[in-house]
Structure 1
Amino acid sequence: MPNSLLRFLCPETFIYLYALTIPFSVSGAAVGMMALLLFSLYRISFSRDLRLVPSGFWFFVAMFAWQSVSLAANGLWGQFGRNLWDKSPLFTVGGLKLDQKVLSRALKILLWANVVLIFYALLQRYADAPVIVKELFTSDGRLKGFSSHPLRFCGYLSTVGIMSLAAALFYSRRAYAFFAVISAGVIMTGSRSYMISYLLACALLAFWKSRKAFARFILAGMAGVGLFLLLYRPAMERVMSTFSAGHDQVRYNIWSVAWRAFAENPVFGLGVRQLPKYMEPYKASGFTDTASHAHNIYLSALAEEGFIGLVLMLAVFAYFLRRYYRAASLSAGAPLMRAWALGLSAALVNLLIAGVFEAHFYTFGIWSLMTFLMGLYEGAERGQREGIAASPRS
C-alpha cells in the first residue's frame, strides 16, 4: 500500500470524518467511530496496556455492566450489547496521543458543518432549495436537521453551541460568529427545555470568564433571544404554549408513571429502554400523551435501572464535571485546552439541567458527540503529557 495512502488512513482522518458527518448522517459518523474502535482494539490487543483506556470510560463500563444485570434480572437476555456504542468515542479517541492542532481542526470542521446545515435548512424553508434526503424543518416550523425529532437535534446542537462560546471566550473571538448562528438554530428547534439549559450553561461560561463578561452576556442574551423569538413565530408559539392550561399536568402524569415503575421495581428496574412498553397502557387510556420516554433522565434511570442505575449515572456526571473543571484551572498556559475543558464542563451542566425535562442519556447524536469531545481532550492531554509539543493556533 502506498505510503501516502497509509498516512491518510490514520486516526486523525476518522476524527475529522466524524466531525464532518455527525450533523448530516449517523451512518457517516458511525463509519468514523467504527474505524477508530478497530484501531483502538488493535492497539490494546498488541500492547496489552489498559492505560490506553481513559479512566473515566470505566464509569460507562460500570453502567453497562449494571444494565446487563438489570436486563438479566428481567429475563431480557437478547438486549445485551447495547448502550455502550454511543459512549465509545471517549475510549477510542481518548486513548490516542494527539497534537492540539487536531482539536483546533476538528472544532473548525464541526462548527462549519453545523453552520452549513443551518443555512441549508433556512434555504429549504424560505428559498425552496431542493430537499436532499429529508426536510429539515417540521411542518410546524421546528428545526430538526437530519435527526428524527427536534429535541434530539437540539440536545446535540446545544453542545456544539456551548463549545463555540467556550472557544470565543477563552481562545479566539472569531468563534462568536459561529456561536450566533448556532444559537439561532437552538432557538429554531423550539425546545423549551434546551433553551433554558443552554442559556444557563452559556451564562455559566461567561461567569467563568469574568463578571463583566457575565453582565454583557445577560444583557445581550436577553435582547438577542427576545428579538429572535419575535422574528421567528414558531419558536415564540412553542414558548407561549408552556403557559397553556394543562401543560404542567401532562408532564406530571408522565413523571408519575415513571415513578410508579420504579416503586414496583426499585432494585433492578424494568431494564434499560423498557419504560416505553410500561407506559403504553397509560397513553392508550389518555393519562399521558406519550409512551416514548419519561421526559426526565433521573426518573428514567430509576424506572429502568433502579436506584443503583441512578447512582451510577450521577457518578458519571460528577466525575467528569470535577475532572474538566479542575483541568481548566491547570491549563492557564494553554488557551485551547482551557477553553475545551470549560466547554465540556458547561456542556455537562447543560445536559444535567435539560435532563429534568428530557430523557437524553441514550440519544446517539448527543452522547456520541459529547464523548467524542471528551476523547479529544483526553487525547490532547495525553499528547502533552507524553511529549507532543503544543501547537500554535491554526
Structure 2
Amino acid sequence: MVFLNPKSGRIMKKLVRLLLLTSFYGFCFFSPWSIAGAQAMLVVGLVGVVLVLIWGPRPNFQTGGIFMFIVLYYIVNLFSAALSGAFFDSLKSLRHEWIPLTFLIWVFLSPDENHLKRGIDIMVAVSGIFAFYACLQHFTGYDLVRGIALESLDRFYIATGPYGGHLTFGGVYFLIAFFILGYLAGSALEKGRRFYYYILFLFLALPAVILSYARSIWIAMAFSTAILVLLVFRKHLLKASAIILALCVLLVILFPPLAKRGKTLLDMSFDSNFNRVELWATSRNMIFHRPIVGFGSGGFTRNFEKYFSGGFCPVRCHPHNDYLNVLVETGIFGLLIHLGLFWLVLRRAYYVFKAGSGIYRGIALGSLLAVVGIMIAGEFECFFVDDEVEELLFFMFGLCTISYNTTLYQKGFLRRDARILLIRTDRIGDLILSTPVCDALKKSLPSCKVDFLVSKYASEIIRNDPNIENMYIKSGFISTARLMRKIKPEVAIFIHPTFDEALAGMLSGVPLRLGSGYRAYSFLFNIRHYEHRKTNKYHEVLYNCRMLKEIGIEYLPERIRVYLDEESRRRANELLGSLGVCGDYVVLHPGSLGSSLAWSIENYKSLAKIFAESNYNVIITGSEKEMALANFIAESSGKNVFNIAGKTDLLTLAGIFEKARIVITNSTGPLHIADGVGTSVLGIFPPSRNMSPTRWGPYNQPENIIRPPVEECERCVGKSCKFWYCMDILKPEAVFERAKLIMGRRTR
C-alpha cells in the first residue's frame, strides 16, 4: 500500500474519477461502431480500477454477487485448461477472455443519474447514425466504410452496419435497441425532447436490426417483445399484439426477402441449418467424452477433427450455440456458472423493475429485455464469444447492478417489518458485545424480527434477550444453509464471518448479505463493510454497530445488557446458600481459555488470600476445564474462599455475578457477563495493543481496567521481549487496592 499525503490523495481520487468517467463516456461513444475504440476505453477504465485498488480508498461497491460468478468463471476455465491436455494452448485462448473484468469499471464508477442520462444519450445518438447507415446499406448494397459489396437478397442487401458481419451487427444493435426500448418503457420519461429523440432512434434501430437478416436475432426480438408486452402493456395486450403484428406484416410487404428468409428457419436443407446440425452433433460427441470439465478454452476448434460427426461443414470455429460451446470448453460446472450469472442479472433486473423508479427502473427493464433476448439467440449462435456483444453485455450487467444498489438505498434497504438474521458463532464475550446490534435494529425498525445464529457453547447467555425473536444453534454448513432457506431472512448480517457461513448465505438465496470487505471470500457478500478492526480505534461494540451504516442505520449504544430470568437467580441463590455464603462477596474468575494473555494463577491465589484476610467472602468461578485451577486457589487461600467452578451454567453464573461486590477477571467472556448484569468489574489486561481494553474492555465501565506498568507493545512475542514476564509485574496488592477503590465508589 502506498501512503499519500492528503493533497496527493485528493489529486489521485480526481484522476481515478476522470479515468473512469472517460471510460464510461468513451465506451458509450465507440461501442456502437468501433471495437478498437470501445476496447481502448475499457483499458482506460481498468487502469482506473487498478489505481483504486492500489491507492484507495477502496469504494464500498456492491456487485450483487455477479463478480463472484465472474471469478468462478475464470477458476473453472483454469481448472479445465489444467485437465485438458493442452494447458498452454488453452491459456493462450483464455488470455483473450478479459472482458468480464470490465464489469468492475461500471460498479467502481457508479455514475449518478445525470452521468447515466448523458452516457445513454451519447450511445443513442451514435447508434442512430449507424442504424440509418445500415438501412441505406439495405438499399444500396455497398459498405462505404470497407469499400465492399454486400450479399444480395433479390433487390435488397443484408445490412452489416459498421461491422464486417451481419450477425455481429444484429447482435450489437439488438442489445442497444432493446435496452433503449426497455429504458423508454420502464423509466416513464416525460414527453419532451429526449422522449421523441429516443422514439426516432427506435424507428431507425429496430428496422436496421431486422434488416441484418440474422434469424437468431429475429427469434430473440420475438421473445423480448413478448416479455415487454407482458410486463408493461398487459392491460393493452390485444391492442399491443395487433400493432406488432401489423408492423411485421408491413415489413414483409415492403421487403419480400424477409418472408423468404423466415421460411428457412425450419428448412433443414438450408445450408446454414444443415451446418448447425453437424456442429451440434460434433459438440455432442465432445460433451459425452468429457462432460464434467470440458476441453479448456478453445477446445472446440482444437478437437474438431477428432470428434467431427461427418458430412460437409465449412464453418468450424465454434458450435453456433453458446451453451454447447460452454459445455465443450468447461463442462457442466462451467455451464452452471454461465447460467447462474445470467440468472442473477435477470433476478436483479426484475427486482428493480418491480421496486425501483425513474431511469433505474428503465435501465433494469432494458437490461432484462436485452439479456433474455441474447440468451435465446445463444441457442442458435455463439454471441458470448463475440467481443462486440460481450462487452455490451457486461456494460449492461454493470448498469443493472448500479440500478439495483441505488434502488436498495432509495428504499432504505429494509422494510420496517423485515426479518433479519444476525450471525456470530465464536465466543461468549464476542456474542455479548454483538447484542447491541439487536438493540440498534429494534430501535430503528421497531416491527422487524431479529433472529440470531450462534454457537451452542455461547447460546445460553442471550436466551432471555427480548430483542431476539428466535435463536438458532449452528451445527454445520448444510444445516446452516437449510436454516437460512427455511426462515428466509431479507438480510443476513455476518458480524464475525466464516467462509462456510458466508457460502451458506449466498447459496440459500439471502437477498442482502452484509459482511466484512476484507476477507478472501468477501465476494460472497453483496453489501460489504470496509473497516479494519485491528487498529483498535473503537470498542468492539461500536465496530459491530458501525456495520449497520451500510444498510442505513446509525446507532450509538449506551450500554450492553445480559438479561436474567428469575429461575437463574433462584439457582444462583440456592448455590450460594448450599455453600453457606453470607453477606457480601467478591468473585475471581482466573481462567480465560486462551482468549488473551492472562494473569498467573499464583497471582490469583495471592489475591484471594488478601481478600479472605480482609474478611471478604471470595467465590472462585470457572468452567469444567478450569476446575483444577479453581481448586488450587480455593484450597490454599483460607476458609472464606468458595470454589464453584464447573457447577454453573452461563445464566446461573450471571446470577452469581449480579449479587457480587465486584468481579475480577482477565479479558474474557465472564468480564462482559458481569458488566452486562450491572456488577462492578475489574478487568486485568496485558499491555499488548492487539488485546487493547479500548476495544475489549468492559463497555459499561471502561475505566475499570488495570494493566502492568510497562510500555504498550504491538503483540506478545514471548521471551524475546524484555518484559516477557509483564503480567507478573502487576502485583496482587495493586489489584486489591484498585478493587477496593472501585467498590468504594459504588453504593449497593
Q: 1:306 aligns with which of 331, 342, 359?
A: 331
Counterparts of 1:1-394 in structure 2, within 5 Å, are 9-47=18-56, 49=58, 51-52=60-61, 54=63, 55-74=65-84, 75-80=86-91, 81-82=94-95, 84-124=97-137, 126=139, 131-135=144-148, 137-139=150-152, 141-171=157-187, 172=189, 173-174=195-196, 175-247=198-270, 249-280=274-305, 286-331=311-356, 334-379=357-402
Give the Cα–Cα distance (whole angstroms) in 2 for the partners of residues 136 and 117 of structure 1.
Answer: 17
Q: 2:95 is paired with a residue of what secondary structure?
A: coil
Percent same amino acid among aligned pairs? 23
User: Residues 19 and 45 of structure 2 are in contact (CA less than 8 Å); yes or no, is this contact kept in structure 1?
Assistant: no
Give CA-to-partner distance per residue, 1:264-302, whole Å, 9 cap, x none: 112221212221233357779534342122121121111
1:31: how far off?
1.4
- Give the superposition deviation at 1:52: 3.4
| 8 Å CA contact retained: 1:147, 1:153 | yes
Indicate the larger mover: 114-123 or 184-193.
114-123
Say if 2:283 and 2:319, in contact at 8 Å, map to a contact too. Answer: yes
**Which residue identity lines up with residue 311 of structure 1 in the other structure?**
L
Higher strand proportion (structure 1 or 2) = 2
Q: Residues 129 and 262 of structure 1: is their aligned pair in 2 closer, same or farther, counting only changes over 3 Å? A: closer
Contact 1:15 1:32 in 2 (8 A): yes
- State the partner residue of 1:391: none
Provide the rounded CA distance (Å) in 2 between the counterparts of 1:299 and 1:215. 37
C-alpha contact (below 8 Å) 1:142/1:235 kept by paired residues: no
For residues 132 and 317 of structure 1, the distance between their equivalents in structure 2, rounded to whole angstroms, comes to: 35
Deviations 1:33-59 (CA, angstroms, capped at 9, x unpaired) = 011110011112222748436231221
Measured in 2, the distance between the counterparts of 1:125 and 1:319 equals: 38
Distance in 1 (CA, whole Å) between partners of 2:200 and 2:259 is 23
Greater alpha carbon shift after TM alignment, 15-24 vs 249-258: 249-258
Change (3 A) 1:276 1:229: farther
The AA in structure 2 aligned to 1:93 is: W
Q: Aligned letter for 1:116?
A: I
* Paired AA for residue 69 in structure 1: F
Asked if 1 retains the 8 angstrom alpha-carbon contact of 2:70 and 2:101, the reply is no
Match of 2:728 in 1: none
Q: Secondary structure, in 3 states, of the residue corresponding to 1:224?
A: helix
Structure 2: which amino acid aligns with 1:77? F
CA–CA distance in structure 2, aligned partners of residues 266 and 130 of structure 1: 43
Secondary structure of the residue that 1:242 maps to in structure 2? helix
Q: Alpha-carbon deviations, 1:135-180, whole Å to 9, x = none? A: 5944552222233321122111111111121122123353333222
Cα displacement string for residues 6-40 of structure 1 (whole angstroms, at most 9, x for unaligned residues): 79944223211111111221110011101111001
CA deviations 1:55-83 (Å, max 9, x no partner) are 31221121111111111212322543535
Q: Residues 128 and 205 of structure 2 are in contact (CA less than 8 Å); yes or no, is this contact kept in structure 1?
A: yes
Paired letter, 2:279: I
The Cα offsets for residues 225-267 of structure 1, whole Å up to 9 and x where unpaired, read as: 2222332344333222334352455433321110110111122
Structure-2 separation of matches of 1:212 and 1:260? 48
CA distance 1:26–1:377, change in 2 (3 Å): same
Going from structure 1 to structure 2, the CA distance change for 1:215 and 1:360 (only over 3 Å counts) comes to: same
Tell me the number of residue pairs that the alignment of Structure 1 and Structure 2 aligns.
382
Residue 182 and residue 216 in structure 1: after superposition, are their counterparts in 2 closer, same or farther (change >3 A)?
farther
Instruction: Measure the CA separation in 2 of the matches of 1:202 and 1:245.
Output: 27
- Tell me which amino acid in the other structure corresponds to 1:347: A
Distance apart, 1:337 and its partner CA: 0.5
SS in 1 for 2:182: helix
Q: 1:177 to 1:282 in 2, by over 3 A?
A: farther
Are the counterparts in 2 of residues 59 and 316 from structure 1 also a CA contact under 8 Å? yes
Does the Cα contact within 8 Å between 2:137 and 2:159 map onto a contact in 1?
no
Normalized per residue, which structure has more helix?
1
> 1: distance between equivalents of 2:238 and 2:96?
41
- Kept in 1, the 8 Å contact 2:137–2:161? The answer is no
Q: Which runs of 5 or more residues in structure 1 are unaligned?
A: 388-394
Task: Tell me, in whole angstroms, the C-alpha distance in 2 between the residues paired with 1:289 and 1:78.
Answer: 23
The CA deviation string for residues 56-115 of structure 1, in whole angstroms up to 9 with x for no partner, is: 122112111111111121232254353542223321111123211122111121122111
Question: Residue 309 and residue 71 in structure 1: after superposition, are their counterparts in 2 closer, same or farther (change >3 A)?
Answer: same
Greater Cα offset, 21-30 or 288-297: 288-297
Amino acid at match of 1:300: N
Residues 53 and 33 (structure 1), Cα distance of their counterparts in 2 relative to 1, 3 Å cut: farther
3-state DSSP class of the match of 1:356? coil
Matched AA of 1:28: G
Greater radius of gyration (CA)? 2
Query: Cα distance, 1:378 vs. partner?
Result: 3.1
Q: Is the 8 A contact 1:189 1:235 kept in 2?
A: no
Deviating more after overlay: 340-349 vs 223-232: 223-232
Distance 1:304 1:46, change over 3 A: same
Residue identity in the other structure for 1:221: I
Cα root mean square deviation, aligned: 2.9
The separation in 2 between residues aligned to 1:246 and 1:379, in whole angstroms, is 46
d(CA) in 2 for partners of 1:46, 1:286? 58
